[in-house]
Amino acid sequence: MRYRMLGRTGIEVSVHCLGTMMFGAIGNPDHDDSARVIHTALDASINFVDTADMYSAGESEEIVGKALKGRRDDVVLATKVHFPMGEGRNRGGNSRRWIIQAVENSLRRLQTDWIDLYQVHRPDENTDIEETLSALSDLVHQGKIRAFGCSTFPAEDLVEAHHVAEKRGLLRLRTEQPPYSILARGIERSLLPVCERYGMGVLTWSPLAAGFLSGKYRRTQPVDMTTGRAARQPFRFDPELPENAAKYEAVEQLAELAADLGCSLPELAVAFAATHPAVTSVIIGPRTPDQLEGLLKGAQLTLDDATLDRIDEIVPPGTDIYRADAVWTPLSLADPARRRRPLTERSAH
């Protein structure tokens, strides 16, 4: 296992990070089986574990907490805050009020006194970034978290956050966690260069493109739309939808490339995500021990320039073939009023 510095935090982490989104009700509900996956990853020299309060409504954090008993000091533990937790108002977002409450809940579920990396899961247009940075800075000073970062923030939000931190004398965002795969390379345009400029660590998620690079979905074989990811998100996998044609075509070419290299498609996908110089660690999110074993093989694979050139020909740099983040849309796109002048102004001459 290779290791890299997590930005400028001074924390050394494995190039592959164990993501635990699939532990709990939405993935593997067997806590003992999930714990075995965690232990197998740690035994394979992975020292970086990532979770979030909203994964299976806190159940993932509980599984991680139980699994890390006796091994906590050797693990760099990351979790997140933002998405609503339970019913009622003010139980989500990036406000000081919610962050202070949410971190205590996460500490309790994780059965730990501190969190190594606390991440803001998505931007919050209703909360001033100074409010968020101030709350997170206080948590560092209190020793409840060691560092903080964000997940799936646009490049311009990172620039604003660093400017506000410098102006107000607050601690800075140290990491960003964006989606990144061969099929979703959009972050290469500006986000990754901005992270490099500010010395931020980068944890990428979904190297298998939400399962599309798992090898399970091929144009040459029938797709079972009644189970798994295809049943939950048919818009991503239905081969009859025109918007999926480019993905299926790319998968066929990538599968051929993987065969030429003597590796599996998931191995190729995981190796690709770790190749960019701005990327610190690639999050792999297995549900079972067998899936973990297959993904770990990608940790041993190194891609040469000729292979990367072929990937560039299949999916050009900076290109997104699909929308990687299906759970959050910025208000600038989700709210039509943000994109349209008032009717009275449009009709005036």
Q: Give the whole-angstrom CA distance, residue 99 versus residue 277.
A: 32
Question: Which amino acid, residue 292?
Answer: L
Tokens 């660690």 sit on residue: 281
Per-residue b/e over 191-208, b at no fewer than 16 CB within 10 Å?
bbebbeebebbbbbbbbb
Query: Both tokens of residue 159?
Result: 């620039």
Residue with tokens 């610190």: 280
Structure tokens at 42: 């740690």
Task: Specify the DSSP class assigned to residue 69.
Answer: T
Tokens of 330: 């910025």
What is the spatial distance between Cα 95 and Cα 97, in angstroms, rounded to a whole number? 5
List 55, 180, 217, 322, catalytic entry? 55
Closest by CA position to 198, among listed 179, 174, 177: 174
Relative to beta strand 175-177, strand 115-120 is unpaired
Six-digit token string for 328: 């959050």
Tokens for 30, please give them.
């067997």
Residue 297 to residues 1, 63, 118, 144, 305: CA-CA distances in angstroms? 11, 25, 29, 35, 20
Q: Determine whether 174 is exposed, middle or buried from the number of CB atoms within 10 Å of its CB (0-12, 13-18, 19+).
A: buried
Give 40's contacts (C-beta < 8 A, 6+ positions apart): 289, 292, 293
5 with 200: CB under 8 angstroms? no
Is 55 assigned a catalytic role?
yes
| Phi–psi pair at 277, nearest 5 degrees | -65, -20
Supply the residues annotated as catalytic: 55
